[in-house]
Amino acid sequence: MAAHLLALRFRLLVGSLRQSPWAIVALVVTVLGAISLLGSTLAGAVAVRALLPELGPAAAVVGGAVLVLALTAVTVLIGTSDPLAAERFSLLPLRVRALRRGLLVASVLDPWVVVGVLGTTIGMVVWSTSGLALATAVAVLPIAVATAVLVPRAIADLLARQLASKGARDAMAIVLVVAVLGLTVGVQLLASGVRAITDVARVLETAAGVLAWTPIGAAFDLPRAIAAGAWPEAAAKLAIALATVGLAWWGWGRLLGERLTHPIVLRGGGRVREGRLLDRLLPATPAGAIAARSIRYRRRDVRHLMNVIAALLVPAVVGGMQLVGIVDVDVDGTRLPLDGLALLPVLMAFVAAAIVQIDLAYDSSAFAWHLLTGVRGADDRAGRLLGIAVVYVPTLLLTAVLATWASGRWDLLPASVGCGLGTFLLLAGVMLWLGVLLPGEAPAPGSNPLGRGSSGGIQSLAGIALSLPMLGTVGAPCIGLAIAAIWIPWLGWLSLAVGLAVAALSAWFGIRVGGAALDRRGPEVLAHVSKAA
Amino acid sequence: MIPEPPPTPPHAPPALELVQLAKRFGQKIAVDGLSLTVPQGSMFGLVGPNGAGKTTTLSMATGLLRPDHGAAVVLGHDVWRDPAAAKARMGVLPDGVHLFDRLTGAELLRYNGLLRSMPEADVTARAADLLAALDLAGTAGTAVADYSAGMRKKIALACALIHAPRLLLLDEPFEAVDPVSGEAIRAILRDFVASGGTVVLSSHVMELVESLCDRVAVVADGRLVATGSLDEVRAGSTLQHRFVELVGRQAGEPEGLPWLRTSSR
């Protein structure tokens, strides 16, 4: 069974590579990313071992916990291996135990699982200070590896299930925002204690002391506890670590079993609230209809809702930082230059513009209806831009206000709004055109919203890279003026004016040129975006 | 709808004309130089075994899939040279295509109407008529994602009808539709043809094609095997019998799978 699933996973991998050259590029980028991540982990571990060996235990715990958290985030964001989704086995006479074992074995072909295994192994370097600690580290390595592999898996599967029900989605969104806010405040409180390098060590040890008692850190503290002869503590932490692995293994099995008989299907949730207001506000034209549909989808389609939530996190983080008072942080007596914080909307504009590029991919084969009805490409582009702008421009403005507040320089508000809006619409205009040539990929409608392609795929990265030269040339005056406004505040108004002019020009370009490209390439775009389904 | 069929002008262009259509996917030739003429005012049945290229042909005829070779002409307008004119005249029910299913049934109809640049008042009035005629009025406020397969078929059909096209291209219109709704759809289609419209539908159910269509084309391996009026094609036999004969495959031999018989265990 396990061998069979491993072979299946391998053939699916080869098949996807044969199907599209983009899949090869994606694999290469993933592998390079993993190698650089592991390389820097190794370098860090060796550096700690060689230069600050007394920090080793704390570094191991914090590093291990961060690894588990990061892998969880990655698994949640880019999805558990979708080709082997449990639902696909639901018609076969399979026991959960056999399936779970098989999926675990097959996951060795998952690059992030490899990162988890190798990253945990690299962490052993720091224990080479003591024979007993090293021996213990080797002995408990399986527990650590199991934590790094199983915890992300179980949490991602649990979230996928939760997000499928409509009521839970809203709750999840709030929990997510609150969690990120809490994390920001926590990091901020830790950072406020930092005054010098020696403080870093103190902070690290405090963090390690706390994390070592949590499920994500206990397994990584065992070598120190045993080497120190703290037997009761070691026993307690071993129990925590084993319970974590056991719970994750059991929970994963439960979730798999549930999915075999009760597949995760995103339901619309019966009667939806019909926003007649939206139809009245937007013109009854093709572009107006597409904009209205786009806005409704931000709310009703969990795949789009996830993107909106992700964008809302930026102002949430900035607002949270401001509430705790990061502005007063100073390192070694010098006040951090926070004026630049006012230009944060530029980053946010990137996120929003990236969504413009892959917006069509979310339609999947439903895009066929745009072709059948003979909608002009320009109407398609204009409607999508309007729909996305209605949702993301207010978020951008909110970010500008909060970021300006955090910077303490209200005179920078025009610059903040100008560079944010200018960047967003400049990139959005380019993306309206690039999105026709490189539509990217999205999770299929009704599938796991955290499934494959939820980050837009490799074409999305290519789109961002290709749009950077535009930002450096056409966008330069607007952004340059905004930066200059830090010293000469009235230039901010100029930045706003230039930003709005560039935005209008770029939107016009995207609608015209992108629309013409869509008129030409419509059937090819349809073939690309419906392939995933 | 108009009760009397308007006289067809003597040199009226065919409702649909396919000229040497061809499409290849990698090594596989899906459609191999298929030519077909559908006269105006006919109820045309397109039949063929699985994988014969019916859906590929219809996709190329409706502007969804670019042909490698050949042309598709709707009422004198080339689908690939003048797509706007051709698409304005046809209504299409595609098979195996997602709907914008987070919209409610009513919203989806309004969406399709507005995409076709129809006046808002017409869209609203016709949407209400269509929902009532297809027995979807009660679920007009439900997200299409929560519709059953048959209801999805019906709402998609409504989307194909809302702009009052002159040619309907329907890929498996009766699949998963309950008998009562099926009869309602048949009545709508008969009325549409009687008033001078043209319907092209694909189906696997020979009895249905026989009872509904007046012209038939049989497609196999991407080629046209037979076409003509229903009587010409079935040539004194039943359509089912002719079809098996033409396609050249015998219906499943009863001796085929001895291990499957319960008595052999």
CB contact under 8 A, A523 and B112: no
Q: Is residue A136 part of a domain?
A: yes
- B23 Cα to chain A: minimum distance (Å): 13
Confidence of residue A508 (pLDDT cuts 50, 70, 90): very high
Q: Which residues of B touch A376 (CB under 8 A)?
A: 84
Closest partner CB to B117 (pick from A272, A285, A363): A285
> For chain B, what percent of residues have pLDDT higher than 70?
92
The residue in chain A having the minimum alpha-carbon distance to the alpha carbon of residue B144 is: A268
Q: Are residues A257 and A313 in the same domain?
A: no
Looking at the structure, tell me whether residues A331 and A185 fall in a common domain: no
Let me know if residue A267 belongs to a domain. Answer: no
Give per-residue pLDDT as tens, B65-96: 999 998 999 998 999 988 989 999 999 999 88
One domain for residues A29 and A84? yes
Residues A445 and A533 sit within 8 Å (Cβ to Cβ): yes
Residues A290 and A324 in one domain: yes
The predicted model gives A85-111 an average pLDDT of 83
Are A232 and A316 within one domain? no
pLDDT tens-digit map of A306-346: 777 777 777 777 666 665 554 444 444 444 456 667 777 88
* Burial (CB count within 10 angstroms: exposed 0-12, middle 13-18, buried 19+), residue B119: exposed
| Alpha helices (H) in A20-55, listed in sequence order | 21-51
Shortest Cα–Cα distance, A191 to chain B (Å): 44
The whole-angstrom distance between A274's CA and the closest CA on chain B is 8
A299 and A220 in a common domain: no
Q: Which candidate in B56, B78, B82, B100 is best for mutational testing of the A interface (most A CBs within 10 A)? A: B100
The total of structural domains in chain A comes to 2
Amino acid (1-letter code) at residue A383: G
Residues A502-523 have a mean pLDDT of: 91
Asked if pLDDT for residue A498 goes beyond 60, the answer is: yes
How many Å apart are CA A353 and CA A364, to the nearest integer? Answer: 19
Tell me the average pLDDT of chain B. Answer: 85
Q: Which of A229, A46, A209 is nearest to A132 (CA)?
A: A229
CB contact under 8 Å between B97 and A285, yes or no, is no
Does A291 lie in the same domain as A251? Answer: no
Inter-chain Cβ pairs, chain A and chain B, closer than 8 A: 115
Residue A334 is predicted with a pLDDT of: 45
Alpha carbons A9 and B135: distance in angstroms, whole number: 45
C-beta of residue B47 within 8 angstroms of C-beta of residue B219: yes
- Let me know if residue A305 belongs to a domain: yes
> Do residue A286 and residue B94 have CB atoms under 8 angstroms apart?
no
Instruction: Check residue A333 and give its pLDDT.
Output: 44
A329 and A237, same domain (yes or no):
no
Q: What pLDDT, on the 0 to 100 scale, is given for residue A456? A: 60
User: Within a domain: residue A503?
Assistant: yes
pLDDT digits 0-9 by tens, B190-243: 988 998 889 999 988 888 888 889 999 988 888 888 888 888 888 888 888 888
List of residues 6+ apart from A327 with CB closer than 8 A? A338, A406, A407, A408
Domain range enclosing A91: 2-261
State how far the Cα of A6 lies from the Cα of A12, in Å rounded to an integer: 10
Both A374 and A518 in a single domain?
yes
Please check whether residues A360 and A429 belong to one and the same domain. Answer: yes
Q: What is the pLDDT, as a whole number, of residue B111?
A: 93
- The reported pLDDT for the residue numbered B169 is 92
Distance spanning both ends of chain B, measured CA to CA: 60
Q: What is the distance in angstroms between the CA of the first residue and the CA of the last residue of chain A?
A: 27
HEC-encoded secondary structure of chain B: CCCCCCCCCCCCCCCEEEEEEEEEECCEEEEEEEEEEECCCCEEEEECCCCCCHHHHHHHHHCCCCCCEEEEEECCEECCCCHHHHHHHEEEECCCCCCCCCCEHHHHHHHHHHHCCCCHHHHHHHHHHHHHHCCCHHHCCEEHHHCCHHHHHHHHHHHHHCCCCCEEEEECCCCCCCHHHHHHHHHHHHHHHHCCCEEEEECCCHHHHHHHCCEEEEEECCEEEEEEEHHHHHCCCCHHHHHHHHHCCCCCCCCCCHHHCHHHC
Inter-chain residue contact A268 with B87, CB threshold 8 Å = no
Residue B175 has pLDDT above 80, yes or no: yes
Q: Do residues B223 and B34 lie in contact, with contact meaning Cβ atoms separated by under 8 Å?
A: yes
Pick A84 or A512 by higher pLDDT: A512
Split at pLDDT 50, 70, 90, the class of A378 is very high
Last residue of a domain, one of A246, A261, A276: A261
User: What is the pLDDT at residue A513?
Assistant: 93
pLDDT value, residue B255? 63
Instruction: Please say which residue of A229, A261, A293 terminates a domain.
Output: A261
Q: Quick check: B104 and A445 CB within 8 A?
A: no
* Residues of chain B positioned with their CB less than 8 A from the CB of A268: 101-102, 142-146
Q: Is residue A271 part of a domain?
A: no
Looking at the predicted structure, is the pLDDT value of residue A451 above 60?
A: no
Of A19-23, A100-104, A474-478, B155-159, the one with minimum mean pLDDT is A19-23
Cross-chain CB nearest to B111 (options A269, A293, A445): A293
Sort out which chain A residues have CB atoms less than 8 A from B87's CB and list them: 372-374
| pLDDT tens sequence across A2-49 | 888 888 888 887 877 776 666 777 777 778 877 887 888 888 888 888
CB contact under 8 A, B98 and A300: no
Task: Indicate yes or no: CB of A366 within 8 angstroms of CB of B104.
Answer: no
Between A220 and A460, name the one with better pLDDT: A220
Task: Residues B16-96+165-247: name the CATH superfamily.
Answer: P-loop containing nucleotide triphosphate hydrolases (3.40.50.300)
Whole-angstrom CA distances from B190 to B146, B150, B173 are 30, 20, 14
Same domain, A193 and A150: yes
Reported as a single tens digit per residue, the pLDDT across A243-298 is: 999 999 999 898 888 888 877 665 545 456 666 777 778 888 899 999 999 988 88
Mean pLDDT of chain A: 79
Query: What confidence category does residue B6 fall into, taking pLDDT thresholds of 50, 70 and 90?
Result: low
pLDDT in tens, A178-199: 666 666 666 666 555 555 556 6
Are A508 and A452 in a shared domain?
yes
